[in-house]
Structure 1
Amino acid sequence: MSKFNRSVKKPARNALTVTHEGGKAYVRDAKSDLVLLAVVNMVGEDTFYEKAADRDDRYANLVRTVAVEDGEWTARFVAWLRGEAQMRSASLVAAAHAVHARLRAGLHGGNRQLVDAACGRPDEPGEFLAYWTGTFGRALPKPVKRGVGDAVRRLYGEKALLKYDTDSKGFRFADVLELTHAAPDPEKPWQGELFRHALDRRHGRDETVPETLPTVRARAELMAMPEVERQLVPAQPDAAEVLARAGMTWEALAGWLQGPMDAAAWEAVLPSMGLMAQIRNLRNFDEAGISDEAAQRVLDRLRDPQVIARSRQFPYRFLSAHRAAPSQRWGHALDAALTAATANVPALPGRTLVLVDTSASMTGRVSGRSQVTHVDVGALFGAVLAARGCDVDLVGFANGHFRHALTHGGSVLRDIDAFCARIGEVGHGTETVRALRETYDGHERVVLISDMQAFRYDGRESRGVSVSEAVPPEVPMFGVNTTGYAPSALDGTRPGRHEIGGFSDKLFTMVSLLSAGRGASWPWERAA
Structure 2
Amino acid sequence: MARFNTRTARAQPTSRVTSTGRVLRTYEGGRGRERDARSELFLLAVSNFVSQQTFYETGTDRDDRFAALVRELAVTDPSWTAGLLGWLRGEGNLRTASLVGAAEYVKARLDACAVDGPSNRQVVDCVLRRPDEPGELLAYWTATYGRAVPKPVKRGVADAVRRLYTGKALLKYDTASKGYRFGDILNLVHAAPDPGKPWQGDLFQYALDRRHNPDAAVPPVSIPVLGAHRELMALPVAERRAVVTAPGGAERLAAAGITWEALAGWLQGPMDKAAWEAVIPSMGQMALVRNLRNFDEAGVSDEVAAQVAARLGDPAEVKRSRQFPFRYLAAHQHAPSLRWSYPLEQALGHSLANVPALPGRTLVLVDRSGSMFYSRLSDRSELNRADAAAIFGTALALRAADADLVEFGTTSKRLRFRKGESVLKVLGRFGDLGGTDTTSAIRSHYRGQDRVLIVTDEQYGYNGHGDPTGQVPAHIPVYTWNLAGYRVGHGPSGTGNRHTFGGLSDAAFRMVPLLEAARDADWPWAEV
Q: TM-score, normalised by structure 1?
A: 0.94
8 Å contact kept, 2:313–2:346:
yes
Match of residue 23, structure 1, among 27, 30, 34: 30
- 1:404 correspondence with 2:415: yes
Quote how far apart the aligned CAs of 1:75 are: 1.4
Aligned residue for 1:390? 401
Question: Partners in 1 of 2:401 and 2:151 — Cα distance?
Answer: 53
Aligned pairs for 1:40-119 (under 5 A) are: 40-108=47-115, 110-119=119-128
8 Å contact kept, 1:382–1:392:
no
Quote how far apart the aligned CAs of 1:92 are: 0.2
Aligned residue for 1:255? 265
Question: Partners in 2 of 1:507 and 1:330 — Cα distance?
Answer: 28
8 Å contact kept, 1:386–1:409:
no
SS of match in other structure, 1:231: helix
Quote how far apart the aligned CAs of 1:505 are: 1.9
8 Å contact kept, 2:250–2:281:
yes
Question: Partners in 1 of 2:515 and 2:267 — Cα distance?
Answer: 54
8 Å contact kept, 1:302–1:308:
yes
- Number of residue equivalences: 507
- 1:349 correspondence with 2:359: yes
Quote how far apart the aligned CAs of 1:170 are: 0.7
Aligned residue for 1:6? none
Aligned pairs for 1:129-528 (under 5 A) are: 129-204=138-213, 206-364=216-374, 365-418=376-429, 420=430, 423-424=431-432, 427-459=433-465, 465-525=466-526
Question: Partners in 1 of 2:508 and 2:494 — Cα distance?
Answer: 19
Quote how far apart the aligned CAs of 1:317 are: 1.4
Q: Deviations over 1:447-470 (max 9, x none)?
A: 1111110000115xxxxx112212
Quote how far apart the aligned CAs of 1:318 are: 1.1
- 1:34 correspondence with 2:44: no
8 Å contact kept, 1:162–1:247:
yes
Residues 505, 493 of structure 1: CA spacing in aligned structure 2 closer, same or farther, 3 A cutoff? closer
SS of match in other structure, 1:232: helix
Given residue 77 of structure 2, which amino acid in structure 1 is its aligned partner? D
SS of match in other structure, 1:189: coil
Quote how far apart the aligned CAs of 1:388 are: 2.8
Question: Partners in 2 of 1:368 and 1:474 — Cα distance?
Answer: 42
Residues 402, 12 of structure 1: CA spacing in aligned structure 2 closer, same or farther, 3 A cutoff? closer
Question: Partners in 2 of 1:151 and 1:68 — Cα distance?
Answer: 24
Given residue 53 of structure 1, which amino acid in structure 2 is its aligned partner? T
Quote how far apart the aligned CAs of 1:496 are: 1.3
Quote how far apart the aligned CAs of 1:493 are: 4.1
Question: Partners in 2 of 1:12 and 1:249 — Cα distance?
Answer: 48
Given residue 518 of structure 2, which amino acid in structure 1 is its aligned partner? G
What stretches of structure 2 of length at least 5 have no aligned partner?
1-17
Aligned residue for 1:8? none
SS of match in other structure, 1:343: coil
Quote how far apart the aligned CAs of 1:390 are: 3.1
Question: Partners in 2 of 1:231 and 1:512 — Cα distance?
Answer: 55
SS of match in other structure, 1:355: strand
Residues 405, 12 of structure 1: CA spacing in aligned structure 2 closer, same or farther, 3 A cutoff? closer
Given residue 164 of structure 1, which amino acid in structure 2 is its aligned partner? Y
What RMSD, in angstroms, separates the aligned Cα atoms of the two structures? 1.5
Given residue 487 of structure 1, which amino acid in structure 2 is its aligned partner? V
Q: Of the two structures, which has the highest relative contact order with CA contacts closer than 8 Å and spacing of 6 or more?
A: 2
Aligned residue for 2:9? none
Quote how far apart the aligned CAs of 1:160 are: 0.6
Question: Partners in 1 of 2:27 and 2:473 — Cα distance?
Answer: 25
Quote how far apart the aligned CAs of 1:223 are: 0.8
Question: Partners in 2 of 1:223 and 1:49 — Cα distance?
Answer: 50
Q: Deviations over 1:141-173 (max 9, x none)?
A: 111111001110111111110000001111111
SS of match in other structure, 1:14: strand
Q: TM-score, normalised by structure 2?
A: 0.94
Q: Deviations over 1:108-157 (max 9, x none)?
A: 45110000011111100000000011111111111111100111011111
SS of match in other structure, 1:15: strand
SS of match in other structure, 2:52: coil
Quote how far apart the aligned CAs of 1:312 are: 1.8
Q: Deviations over 1:409-468 (max 9, x none)?
A: 1211111122x2xx24xx401111111111111111111111110000115xxxxx1122
Quote how far apart the aligned CAs of 1:489 are: 1.1
Quote how far apart the aligned CAs of 1:351 are: 1.1
